[in-house]
Each structure stands twice: as structure tokens, then as C-alpha cells.
Amino acid sequence: MSQKNRILSGMRPTGPLHLGNLLGALANWVNMQDEYDCYFFIADWHALTSDYENTSAIEQNRKEIILDWLSAGLTPEKSTLFVQSLVKEHAELFLLLSMITPVPWLERNPTYKELIGELNNKDLSTFGFLGYPVLQAADIIIYRPYGVPVGVDQAPHVEITREIARRFNHFYGDVFPEPELILTETPKILGLDRRKMSKSYGNAIFLSDSPEEISKKVSRMITDPQRAKRSDPGNPDVCNVYDFHKLYTDPHTVEEIDEQCRNAGIGCVECKQKMAQGLIKALAPIREKRAYYEQRPELVEEIMVEGSNKARTIACETMEVVRAAVKIKN
Ligand code: TRP
Ligand code: SF4
């Protein structure tokens, strides 16, 4: 029997997933399902690190993300899909790792420094927020995976994870392999307003959007800002709509659009409509699967519970080894 390498990754349940999430993470995960033994989980405890004051949305977001995952093509037949808070062993390992993690490692973490600066409307001077990467390290190494597929923004966290694993091994013996960073490509598309696509900017196209919503949103998209009038020639190279075309329209038509845009042979309204058609068509299989799973909430719940049970079995095995290594009673 050929043994596939295990990989693991997670997402915080901060809201419904959009095209940026699909292209940046989820589509990669879906594609990795055949090559790897995949573990994907919802990091609901991590959602608390910044949203501890108002936790009311976490449960609903968790449900939405599961639907997004299954709609996009993650399947329990190939992957283990689970919920962090259903595997309490993550918390035990987090505690043990917190004992050996030097605080300066965490204070140096670029993500930490960035977010503290960005989210200045929230009080993030908490122990939990500083310890975010320690919990993430526990999430990862408890499954002793070969690697962690993440976007470049998460690279510092994987690096800290490797350092913590090394330090643990140094004190207590070889327990944890250092997980590889598997960098996934980040999408080339922007939000409707040409800023980074993000739920909080209100510029996102969600996987759960209906064809009508998609059409409406696409018609709002900012195109080549220099092209003011229909009779002005445009420049597809600086146009976000054109970047979408490259992903969702057949190559022959994309070439035509390139040419017609440059000599004002096509207007942006028509161009956007064409793109919306392609996008709506590309997302059709996702909408179909969503309709299927939306009708079956018990099945969806069962998938996550069974996945969590399977994950817990592995986590428990690791913790036996860990407790023995640390010489804390099993
Ligand atoms: N920090 C990750 C994010 O914000 C989520 C996450 C938590 C994660 N634990 C993880 C990702 C373990 C990979 C592996 O996207
Ligand atoms: Fe962009 Fe299309 Fe308008 Fe050209 S015609 S600027 S590619 S939307």
C-alpha cells in the first residue's frame, strides 16, 4: 500500500468564503486531496483571539465555512474535515508548548506586530492573542504532518511552529518532525474596488452568491481607471475585470477582448457581462453541491463530527507520547 504524506491546514471561521479564499487556499486544498492524506480544520478557538468580546457569529460562520468547503469540492471520502474545539487535545498540547516558548519569539512575529497596529479598535494586548502561534503550533504538530499548505501570510507561523517543535525535541527527545512549509499561490485577482478582496471591505464575491448577485457585483467593478468614456481605448493590463477574464473566459475570447479593449471596440459594460457569464458558469458546480448539502444539515454535521473523531484518535496517540516524554502522567 502506498502511504501518502499527511498535510494539515486550517481556517478561522470569520465569515463566508469569497473568491479570494477559493483561489488562495481552498482550490489548492481541493487539488491536493489525491496526492496527500489531508487534514483540514476550522480553527474556531483561533477566532476568539481577536473576537473574544462578541463570539455570537463564530458558530454560524463555522457552519457556513463547512458548507463552503464541501461545495468547493473538499470531500470526507478523501480528506479528514474537523473542528479544532472538538479535539480538546490541541489545548493540552498548547499548554505544554506555552511552557517552553520564549515570549520574544512571539513578540517578534511579524503577523502579531502588523495586526496589533491594524486592529487598533480592539484590545489585543491579551495573552491569547500573543500566544496565537503557540496554539497554531499545537494544531499542527499534534498530527505530526509532513507539511502545512498555507499562503505566504502564514509563513511566519509555520516557521515559529518549526522552532517550537525543535525546542520541544531538544528538551524531551525526538517527538515532533518539523513540518514543511508548502506555499500555496495567492490569487491574482482583486476585490470589486481593486483593493484586496476582503469581507470587511465589502468588495468580495462570495462562493454562496447567486448568479444575480454575481452579475450585480461584476457590473460594479472598477475597470481601467483611465478609461472614462466608451470611445476611449482601454488597457486590459491594468484592469481587474481582465484578470478575471483570464481565469473564467476561454482563451480565444480573452485574446479578442484584449484587442477590442485597446481599440475601444468593446465597452466595459459588455465586457463585464461576458466575464460574469464565465464566472457564473465556473461556479455552477459549487452552487450545485451547496444546494445538495444545504438540504442535508445532519449529514454536514456528521461529516465534521466523524472527522473530528478521526483527528482525535491521532491527537490522542501523539499526546500519549508527549506525556511520556515530558514525564507527566498518562
Ligand atoms: N492562522 C491561520 C489563518 O489565519 C489559521 C490556522 C490556525 C492554521 N491553525 C492552523 C493554519 C494550523 C494552518 C495550520 O489562516
Ligand atoms: Fe477592462 Fe474590459 Fe473595460 Fe477593457 S473593456 S477596461 S478589459 S472591463
Give Cα separations from 102 to 45, 50, 112, 237, 251 (angstroms): 22, 22, 15, 47, 52
Q: How far is the CA of 186 from the centre of ligand 2 (A)?
A: 23
Taking each helix axis from N to C terminus, what angle separates 89-100 and 297-326, rounded to the nearest 10 degrees? 40
What is the whole-number distance in angstroms between the Cα of residue 10 and the centre of ligand 1?
Answer: 5
> Both 127 and 228 in a single domain?
no
The whole-number average pLDDT for the span 242-251 is 97
Q: Is the CB of 90 under 6 A from ligand 1?
A: no
Point out the ligand 1 atom lying closest to the alpha carbon of residue 46: 7
Same domain for 170 and 144: yes
Residue 113: inside a domain, yes or no?
yes
Domain extent, residue 47, equals 6-188+297-326
- The residue to mutate among 7, 8, 9, 26, having the most atoms of ligand 1 within 8 angstroms of its beta carbon, is 9
The pTM (predicted TM-score) of the whole model is: 0.94
Distance 154 CA to ligand 1 centre (A): 7
- pLDDT score at 127: 94
The pLDDT score that the predictor gives to residue 200 is 87
Q: Are residues 123 and 49 in the same domain?
A: yes
Q: Is 234 in the pocket of ligand 2 (CB under 6 A)?
A: yes
Q: Let me know whether 268 and 125 are in one domain.
A: no
Query: Are residues 301 and 285 part of one domain?
Result: no
**What is the per-residue pLDDT for 201?**
92
Cα(225) to centroid of ligand 2, in Å? 10
217 C-alpha vs ligand 2 centroid, how far in Å?
A: 15
Residue 56 in contact with residue 15, Cβ under 8 Å? no
Given a cut of 80, whether residue 19 has pLDDT beyond it is: yes
In terms of domains, do 67 and 129 share one? yes
Closest-lying ligand to the alpha carbon of 87?
Answer: 1
What's the rounded mean pLDDT across residues 170-174? Answer: 98
Ligand 1, atom 9, lies closest to the CA of: 136
Q: How far apart are CA 281 and CA 190, in angstroms?
A: 20
Nearest Cα to 146, choosing from 6, 317, 3? 6
Nearest of 14, 51, 53, 8 to residue 33 by alpha carbon: 8
**How many domains does the chain fold into?**
2
Q: Tell which one of 189, 239, 243, 246 to mutate to probe ligand 2, the residue whose CB is within 8 A of the most ligand atoms.
A: 239
State the pLDDT at residue 2: 63
Please tell me if the CB atom of residue 223 comes closer than 6 angstroms to any atom of ligand 2: yes
Return the higher-pLDDT residue of 2 and 309: 309
Mark whether 157 and 65 lie in a shared domain: yes
- In the structure, how many helices (H) and strands (E) does the chain have? 16, 5
Q: Are residues 42 and 148 in the same domain?
A: yes
- Is the shortest distance between the CB of 236 and ligand 2 below 6 Å? yes
Answer whether 42 contacts ligand 1 (Cβ < 6 A): no
Band the pLDDT of 245: cuts 50, 70, 90.
very high
**Does residue 251 lie in a domain region?**
yes
Average pLDDT over residues 204-224: 97
Instruction: Based on the fold, state whether residues 110 and 219 are members of the same structural domain.
Output: no
Q: Is the pLDDT of residue 119 over 80?
A: no
Instruction: Say whether pLDDT at 118 is over 80.
Output: no
Grade residue 122 by pLDDT with cuts at 50, 70 and 90: confident
Q: Range with the lowest mean pLDDT among 7-21, 185-199, 248-262, 313-327?
A: 185-199
**Averaged pLDDT for residues 216-233:** 96
> What pLDDT, in 10s, does the model give residues 81-90?
999 999 999 9
**Averaged pLDDT, 248-269:** 97
pLDDT value of residue 111: 82
pLDDT at 26 (0 to 100): 96
Segment 35-62 mean pLDDT: 94
Q: Which of 151, 140, 153, 147 is nearest to 110 (CA)?
A: 153
68 within domain boundaries: yes
87 lines ligand 2 (CB under 6 A): no
- Look at the chain and count its residues: 330
Residue 10 lies in a domain: yes
Residues 124 and 180 in one domain: yes
- DSSP one-letter code for 57: T
Q: List, in sequence order, every beta strand (DSSP E) within 62-156.
A: 79-83, 147-150
CA distances to 55, 206, 209 from 214, in Å: 29, 8, 6
Q: Ligand 1: does its nearest atom lie under 6 Å from the Cβ of 43?
A: yes
- Average pLDDT of the chain is 95
CA of 137 to the centre of ligand 1 (A): 9
- Assign 124 a pLDDT band (cuts: 50, 70, 90): confident
**Residue 305 and residue 280 in one domain:** no
- Is the pLDDT at 242 greater than 90? The verdict is yes
Same domain, 258 and 111: no
pLDDT recorded at residue 1? 52
- With respect to residue 203, please indicate whether it lies within any of the assigned structural domains: no
Q: Quote the ligand 1 centre to 291 CA distance (angstroms).
A: 28
CATH number at residue 243: 1.10.240.10
Per-residue pLDDT at 292 exceeds 90: yes
Is residue 205 included in any domain, yes or no?
A: no
